[in-house]
Structure 1
Amino acid sequence: MIKNYIKTAFRGLMKNKGFTFINVFGLALGLATCLLIVFYVFDELSYDLFNTKADRIFRVNNDIKFGGNENSYAVAPPPTAAALKADFPEIEQVVRFRERGGNQVKKGKQNIIEERMVYADNSIFSIFTLPMITGSTGNALTEPHTVVITEKMAKKYFDRTNVAGQTLTFNDTSFYKITAVIKDIPRQSHFNFDFFIAMPGLAESKEDTWFSNNFNTYILLKPGADVNKLEAKLPGFLQKHAGPQLKAILHLTFNELEKSGNYFKLSLIPLKKIHLQSASVAELDANGDIKYVYIFSAIAVFILLIACVNFMNLSTARSSGRAREVGVRKVLGSPRKYLIAQFLTESILVTLVATIIALLLAWAFLGQFNKMSGKELVITWQIISWLIPVLLLIIIVIGCLAGSYPALYLSAFQPIQVLKGKIAAGFKGGVFRSFLVVFQFSISIFLIIGTLVIYNQLKYIQSKDLGYNRDHVMIVRNVWSLGNNARVFKHEVQGLAGVQNASLSGALPTGGYGNSSTMFKDPVVDQKRAILAQIWPVDEDYLPTLGIKMAAGRNFSKQMLTDSVGLVVNEAAARMLNFSDPITQPLYAPNDNMVKTMKKYHIIGVMKNFNFRSLKDNITPLIFTLNEDRGAVSVRIRSANIPSIIQQIKNKYNSFSPTQEFNYTFMDEDFDAIYRAEQRIGTISVAFTTLAIIIACLGLFGLAAYAAEQRTKEIGVRKVLGASISTIVGMLSKDFIKLVLFSIVLAAPLAWWAMHSWLQGFAYRQNIQWWIIVLAGAGAIFIAFVTISFQSVKAALTNPVKSLKSE
Structure 2
Amino acid sequence: MLKNYLTIGFRNLRKHRFYSFINIAGLAIGLAACLIMVLFVMSELSYDRHFKNAERIQRVNCEIKFGSTNAKLATVSAALPERLSENFPEIESSVRIVRRWGPVLVNRNDGERFKETEMVWADSSFFKVFSIPVLHGDANRALAEPNQIAISRKMAEKYFPEGNAVGQSLFLDDENYQVTVVFENFPVNTHVHFEAILPMANLEESRSSILIGGAGFNTYLLLKEGTDAKKLETKFPEIVKKYVAPQLAGIAGSDFSFEKFLKDGNTWTYSLTPLTDIHLHSNLTDELEPSGSITYVYLFSGIALLILVAACINFMNLSTARSANRAKEVGMRKVMGSLRPHLVRQFMMESLLLMLFSVAIALVLAQLFIPVFNDLALKKISIPFYDPAFYAILFLSTLVVGVSAGLYPSFFLSAFKPVDVLKGKLSQGARSGAIRSVLVVFQFLVSIFLITATIAINRQLTFIHQKKLGFEKEQVIVVKEAYLLGNRIRAFKEEMMNNSFIKSGSISGYLPVTGTWRGGDTFWKEGTVSSGNKVDDMLHLEVWNIDHDYLRTLQMEIKEGRGFSSEFASDSISIILNEEAVKKFGFGKNALGQRISRITGRKPDGTPDPTQLTTWTIIGVVKDFHFSPMKTMIKPLAFQLRQSTGNIIFRFQGQNTAAVIEAVQQTWSKFVPDQPLLYSFLDQDFEKMYESETRLATVFGLFAGLAIMIACLGLFALTAFMTEQRTREIGIRKVLGASVTNIVVLISREFSKLILISFIISIPFAWYAISRWLESYSYKTEIGWMVYAVSGIIAAIIALFTIGYQSIKAAIANPVNSLKNE
The answer as to 2:461 corresponding to 1:458 is yes
Residue 283 of structure 1 aligns with which residue?
287
User: Aligned pair 1:420/2:423, yes or no?
Assistant: yes
Say if 2:202 is the partner of 1:193.
Answer: no
Equivalent residue number for residue 319 of structure 1: 323
Match 1:258 to one of 262, 277, 294: 262
2:680 to 661, 665, 681: 665
Q: Contact 1:469 / 1:547 at 8 angstroms: preserved in 2?
A: yes
Structure 1 window deviating more from structure 2 (598-607 vs 109-118): it is 109-118
Q: Establish whether residue 577 from structure 1 lines up as the match of residue 581 from structure 2.
A: no
Secondary structure of the corresponding residue to residue 101 of structure 1: coil
SS of equivalent residue, structure 1 residue 269: strand
Amino acid in structure 2 at the alignment position of 1:175: N
| Residue 148 (structure 1) aligns with | 150
Q: Among residues 212, 216, 219, which one is paired with 1:217 in the alignment? A: 219
Q: Aligned equivalents of 2:154 and 2:379: distance in 1? A: 20
Name the CA distance, whole Å, in 1 between partners of 2:482 and 2:245.
Answer: 41
8 Å CA contact 2:545–2:640 kept in 1: the answer is yes
Matched residues in 1 for 2:763 and 2:396: separation?
Answer: 34
Give the alignment's Cα RMSD to 1 decimal.
1.4
Q: Distance in 1 between matches of 2:565 and 2:46?
A: 52
Q: Deviations over 1:25-74 (max 9, x none)?
A: 00000001111111222222222122111111111011111341322111
State the shift of 1:100 in Å.
2.8
Q: Is the 8 A contact 2:324 2:430 kept in 1?
A: no
In the other structure, the counterpart of 1:46 is 46
Partner amino acid for 1:633? I
Looking at structure 1, the residues matched to 544 and 298 of structure 2 have their Cα atoms a distance apart, in angstroms, of 38
Unaligned stretches of 5+ residues in structure 2: 602-606
Displacement, 1:644? 2.0
Further displaced range: 789-798 or 742-751: 789-798
Conserved 8 A contact 1:119-1:196: yes
Q: After TM superposition, give the deviation of residue 639 of structure 1 in Å.
A: 5.2
CA distance in 1, matches of 2:636, 2:428: 69
Q: Is the 8 A contact 1:317 1:425 kept in 2?
A: no
Residue pair 1:319, 1:425 contacting (<8 A) in 2 also: no
Q: Does the 8 Å contact 1:32/1:358 carry over to 2?
A: yes
Change (3 A) 1:493 1:126: same
Deviations 1:565-616 (A, max 9, x none): 1111000001111114010100001104513411011111000000000011
Listed one character per residue, the Cα deviations across residues 347-370 of structure 1 (whole Å, up to 9, x for unaligned) are 011011100100011011122222
Q: Provide the rounded CA distance (Å) in 1 between the counterparts of 2:559 and 2:193.
A: 42
Q: Report whether the alignment pairs 1:406 with 2:409.
A: yes
Distance 2:608 2:427 in 1: 88
**1:530-572 CA distance string (max 9 Å, x none):** 2111111111111111111101010001221110011110000
Map 1:398-797 → 2, pairs under 5 A: 398-424=401-427, 426-512=429-515, 513-525=517-529, 526-580=534-588, 581-592=590-601, 594-596=608-610, 597-638=612-653, 640-797=655-812
Q: Does 1:166 align with 2:168?
A: yes
Farther-moved stretch of structure 1 (34-43 vs 419-428): 419-428
Task: Note if contact 2:526-2:615 (Cα within 8 Å) is conserved in structure 1.
Answer: no
Q: Which amino acid aligns with 2:85?
A: K
Residue 365 of structure 2 aligns with which residue?
361
1:504-548 deviation line (CA, Å, top 9, x unaligned): 001111134432311111322322322111111111111111111
Cα separation, 1, equivalents of 2:577 and 2:266:
23
Task: Give the SS at the match of 1:71.
Answer: strand
Residues 713 and 806 in structure 1, CA contact (< 8 A), matched pair in contact too: no
Provide the rounded CA distance (Å) in 1 between the counterparts of 2:653 and 2:317: 62
Identify which range, 592-601 or 740-749, moves more after superposition: 592-601
Q: Does 1:31 align with 2:31?
A: yes
Structure 2 SS opposite 1:112:
strand
Q: In structure 1, what is the equivalent of residue 179 of structure 2? A: 178
Q: CA deviation at 1:161?
A: 5.2
Q: Secondary structure at the match of 1:503?
A: strand
Q: Is the 8 A contact 2:479 2:679 kept in 1?
A: yes
Provide the C-alpha distance between the structure 2 equivalents of 1:570 and 1:802, rounded to a whole number of angstroms.
Answer: 81
Give the 3 Å change call, closer, same or farther, for CA 61–161 of structure 1 in structure 2. Answer: farther
Q: By how many angstroms is 1:455 displaced?
A: 1.1
Shift of 1:192: 1.2
Letter in 2 for 1:315: S
**In the alignment, is the contact (CA less than 8 A) between 1:46 and 1:188 conserved in 2?**
yes
Shift of 1:793: 1.1
In the TM superposition, residue 435 of structure 1 has moved relative to its aligned partner by: 0.5
State the Cα deviation string for residues 458-479 of structure 1 (Å, max 9, x = none): 1111221111111011111111
Aligned AA (2:186): I
**C-alpha distance after superposition, 1:72-92 (max 9, x if no partner):** 111101111112122111111
1:386 maps to 2:389 = yes
Give the conservation status (yes or no) of the 8 Å contact 1:67–1:518: no
Structure 2 counterpart SS, 1:507: coil
The one-letter amino acid of 1:434's match is S
Using the alignment, how far apart are the partners of 1:247 and 1:28 within structure 2?
A: 67
The aligned counterpart of 2:604 is none
Give SS of 2:807's match. Answer: helix
Query: Match of 1:373?
Result: 377
Contact 1:109–1:659 (CA under 8 A) maintained in structure 2: no
Q: Distance in 1 between matches of 2:6 and 2:300?
A: 36
Among all aligned residue pairs of Structure 1 and Structure 2, give the percentage whose two residues are the same amino acid: 42
TM-score by length of structure 1 reads 0.98
Q: Residue 586 of structure 1 aligns to which amino acid in structure 2?
A: R
With over 3 angstroms needed to count, the CA separation of the structure-2 counterparts of 1:771 and 1:161, relative to structure 1, is farther
The AA in structure 1 aligned to 2:268 is F
Partner of 1:18: 18
1:496 Cα deviation after fit: 1.6
Q: Distance in 2 between matches of 1:357 and 1:161?
A: 45
Which amino acid is the alignment partner of residue 609 of structure 2?
V
Question: Is the Cα contact below 8 Å between 1:281 and 1:514 reproduced in 2?
Answer: no
Q: 1:4 and 1:102 mapped to 2: Cα distance?
A: 69
